[in-house]
Amino acid sequence: MTLSPVQCTVDLTIPGRNLGFLRVPHSVHRSAYGHIPVPIVSFVGPKPGPTVLLMSGNHGDEYEGQVILSDLIRTLDPTDICGRLTLLPMANFSAAEAGLRTSPLDSGNLNRSFPGRAVGAPTEMIAFYIEHHLIVGTDMVIDLHSGGSSLYCVPFAMTSWVEGNARNSMRLKVLEALGLPFVLRHGPEAEGWYSSSASWRAGAAGFTLELGGGGTVDPAIRQGAQTGILRALAAVGSYTGQIVGDVLSPTYRDFQREDYIFAQEPGLYEPLVLAGGEIAAGQVVARIHFPETPGKAPLDVHFDQPSIALAHRVPARVIRGDCLFHVALK
Q: How confident is the model at residue 98 (pLDDT cuts 50, 70, 90)?
A: very high
> Is 281 part of a structural domain of the chain?
yes
* CATH number of the structural domain spanning residue 77: 3.40.630.10
Shared-domain flag, residues 145 and 294:
no
State the Cα–Cα distance between residues 326 and 318, nearest whole angstrom. 16
- What global pTM score does this model have? 0.94
Among the three residues 254, 286, 320, which one is the final residue of a domain in this structure? 254
Domain count, the chain: 2
Shared-domain flag, residues 168 and 286:
no
Give the Å distances, CA to CA, from 5 to 103, 116, 124, 132, 133.
Answer: 19, 13, 12, 12, 12
> Is 173 part of a structural domain of the chain?
yes
State the Cα–Cα distance between residues 56 and 71, nearest whole angstrom. 12
Among the three residues 254, 277, 302, which one is the final residue of a domain in this structure? 254
The tens digit of pLDDT for each residue in 252-302 reads 999 989 999 999 999 999 999 999 999 999 999 999 999 999 999 999 999
Shared-domain flag, residues 90 and 52:
yes
State the Cα–Cα distance between residues 286 and 271, nearest whole angstrom. 4
> Is 2 part of a structural domain of the chain?
no
Better-scored residue on pLDDT, 50 or 189: 50
Shared-domain flag, residues 68 and 98:
yes
Q: How confident is the model at residue 1 (pLDDT cuts 50, 70, 90)?
A: low
* Domain encompassing residue 244: 7-254
* CATH number of the structural domain spanning residue 276: 2.40.50.100
